[in-house]
A and B are shown apart, each in its own frame.
Chain A
Amino acid sequence: MLKQKISAYSILLGDQSLILGQRLGELCGHGPILEVDIAMTNIALDLLGQARLYYQLAAELSDTYEDEDQIAFLRREKDYNNCVLVEMPNGDFGDTIVRQYLFDVYHLMFLNQLKESNEKRLKAIAEKSIKEVRYHLNFSGDWILRLGKGTEVSNQKIQKAVDTLWPYTKELVQSSELETEMHGFGIAPNLADLEDEYYRQVKSKFAEAEIKLPEDKWSQIQGKKGLHSEHFGYLLSDLQYLQRSYPNSKW
């Protein structure tokens, strides 16, 4: 039924935001400098807020899930459909900010398309989130330039992070079966339409930041199908610990 599929799609979108938000939340009190600490946790808060909106909509439409908490905290690893990029570990600040930048460019382009969705509630979430994601991209894009053009060491660290994370970008702009189907209904953007513009923007920023582009390698990364990296189980055990140990506990 269409309702169940929209629910599943809304969960996929919520998963991207929740998992990246969880990663950034790990930096609370651990940022390299105070301003960055505040920024990362503010971005985490926005992403968490967005995830809640997607999950609330999903729960409302779902026959399986009763509420947002059940979706966020009580699913198994294979039931999460986020791209692998967002679950990659924070590493050093270079890894964190490159991951953020690669996601932010996609995220803003994606939301600009989702706001044309004929699903009213997803459209409203997109319109609301766009304003926040603009700040995220400003922030991460500035740091790419600052560190890329900074010292030899900072450039090397950004380069290393780009080399590591590059293969994970493909998945952002490749539709899963569910997304293709949703596009057919006029609910979801066609991700393939974003691909050229995504790589154009990223490449031009990296050129400006004096970062070399890695070679495109064949990659088989399918977080959207529930196939995650070895890091994901650890992330989930942290994320789910409280609800699993103390079921139905509330703040």
Chain B
Amino acid sequence: MVDVQKQINIEEIWEILEAVPDPEIPVISIVELGVVRDVKIINEQLKVTITPTYTGCPAMDMISVMIKAALEDRKIENYTLETVLSPPWTTDWMSDETKNKLKSYGIAPPAENTQDKNSLLGKPLQIACPQCESKNTVMQSQFGSTPCKSLYKCNDCLEPFDYFKCH
């Protein structure tokens, strides 16, 4: 009998997942976003663990569908996809490289670590404009186009921009 199930290699799985873009911010992958928490092989079965960004984020269903499609595209069919809540997702998991990608895409990246003093005290942050670097910016709306963003305006170049909230 021919075994159609391909031999699973963890490295390869990570590569596949790194190629799955965030459906709302396509310049970063779901791995860079921190949504993929773990990839394991248990009893020859692949187990992918993900965590939601915000509880009601509608992109999560989309992300599950995209992960399944990416795996099945590579003929990987013996897998489970599990969602965990703990530890809760945080923007602290984003690397500097990821933050730079957000910035070049026109989204101001999270300005701080959630453990930083200003962040803990809920003080308003100085957000640099992703277009002109000016820190002379003002929050227009605490809630933005998606749960993870706020809307800001730059007082120097006058462009509005999204800010990826420190969460």
Instruction: Identify the A interface with B (CB < 8 A).
Output: 34-35, 38-39, 42-43, 45-50, 52-53, 120-121, 123-125, 127-129, 131-132, 134-135, 138-139
B145 to chain A, nearest CB (A): 8
Known: A35-B140, A35-B143, A138-B122. 15 other contacts (CB 8 A): A34-B141, A38-B144, A39-B141, A45-B57, A46-B55, A46-B147, A48-B56, A49-B54, A49-B55, A124-B84, A127-B86, A127-B87, A128-B85, A132-B54, A132-B147
Contact, CB under 8 Å: A132 / B140: no
List 18 interface pairs A-B (beta carbons < 8 Å), by A numbering: A38-B144, A38-B145, A39-B142, A42-B143, A45-B54, A45-B57, A46-B56, A46-B147, A48-B56, A49-B52, A49-B56, A50-B56, A52-B55, A132-B54, A132-B147, A134-B122, A135-B142, A138-B142
For A138, the chain B residues whose CB sits under 8 A away are 122, 142
For A38, the chain B residues whose CB sits under 8 A away are 141, 143-145
Total number of B residues with any Cβ neighbor in A under 8 Å? 22
For the complex, is B88 an interface residue (Cβ under 8 Å from A)?
yes
B166 to chain A, nearest CB (A): 10
For window 87-129 of B, CB contacts with A under 8 Å fall at: 87-89, 122
Residue of A nearest to B90 (CB): A131
For the complex, is B167 an interface residue (Cβ under 8 Å from A)?
yes
For A52, the chain B residues whose CB sits under 8 A away are 55-56
A153 to B51, alpha carbons, bound, how many Å? 46
A123 to B87, alpha carbons, bound, how many Å? 11
Contacts A128-B88, A131-B88, A131-B167 given; does A49 touch B143 at CB 8 Å: no
For A45, the chain B residues whose CB sits under 8 A away are 54, 56-58, 147
A135 to B166, alpha carbons, bound, how many Å? 11
Instruction: Identify the B interface with A (CB < 8 A).
Output: 52, 54-58, 84-89, 122, 140-145, 147, 151, 167
Contact, CB under 8 Å: A46 / B86: no
A153 to chain B, nearest CB (A): 24
A30 to B164, alpha carbons, bound, how many Å? 26
Contact, CB under 8 Å: A132 / B142: no
Q: Which 7 A-B pairs have the closest CB atoms?
A: A49-B56, A49-B55, A45-B56, A35-B141, A42-B143, A124-B86, A124-B85
A130 to B141, alpha carbons, bound, how many Å? 20
A37 to B7, alpha carbons, bound, how many Å? 51
A124 to B84, alpha carbons, bound, how many Å? 9
A38 to B143, alpha carbons, bound, how many Å? 6
Which of A42, A53, A123 gathers the greatest number of chain B CB atoms within 10 Å? A42
Residue of B nearest to A53 (CB): B55
For A42, the chain B residues whose CB sits under 8 A away are 143-144, 147
B59 to chain A, nearest CB (A): 11
A28 to B62, alpha carbons, bound, how many Å? 22
For A46, the chain B residues whose CB sits under 8 A away are 54-56, 147
Residue of B nearest to A56 (CB): B83
**A47, A124, A131: which contacts B56 (Cβ < 8 A)?**
A47
A46 to B97, alpha carbons, bound, how many Å? 29
For B145, the chain A residues whose CB sits under 8 A away are 38
A127 to B84, alpha carbons, bound, how many Å? 12
Residue of B nearest to A41 (CB): B143
B93 to chain A, nearest CB (A): 14
Which of A38, A128, A129, A139 gathers the greatest number of chain B CB atoms within 10 Å? A128
B85 to chain A, nearest CB (A): 4
